[in-house]
Amino acid sequence: MQRALQLALAGEALGEVPVGAVLVQDGVIIGEGFNAPITRHDPTAHAEVVALRAAAERVGNYRLEKTTLYVTLEPCTMCVGALVHARVARVVFAAAEPKAGSLVSARRQLESGYYNHVFLFEGGLLADEAGTMLSDFFRRRRLAQKAATPRGE
């Protein structure tokens, strides 16, 4: 998770929402990424998807069985779907995402019974660090937007 937090900071330096992800197999990182929809002009370039793509390219297979994804924020609906299709075995996330989280927060997608694969998951690993990083990012963004808005508008 420490590496995922470092990746989140790298994304933040580029103006992206600071979320990082690392995919591990047999104790080795096989894919990693950070949020990059702005810089890549790609709405699907969430940290989880970037990490899955890198890993699939590296191992030469879109099935990423027996892997664990470490991500700094609870995955959204799109990312949960990608994790299911990739056959990831386990997801460990740091901070919960009350508005869009799709494992334990806003939605509990894996409880739907619709999927032919489900993965184990747990949250809370370095949640304070990840949550603070995200809160600080959005606070700075709001302050910058407020400063850029002329008074009276």
User: CA dihedral defined by 58, 93, 89, 61, rounded to 10 degrees?
Assistant: -20
Question: Token pair of 110, please?
Answer: 């894996």
Query: Is 74 part of the annotated catalytic residue set?
Result: no
Question: Token pair of 18, please?
Answer: 């600071």
Could you tell me where the DSSP H helices lie in 14-76?
37-40, 47-59
Check if the beta carbon of residue 90 is closer than 8 Å to that of residue 119.
Answer: yes
Candidates 16, 32, 48, 97; catalytic one: 48
Question: Token pair of 133, please?
Answer: 């990083």
Residues with catalytic roles = 48
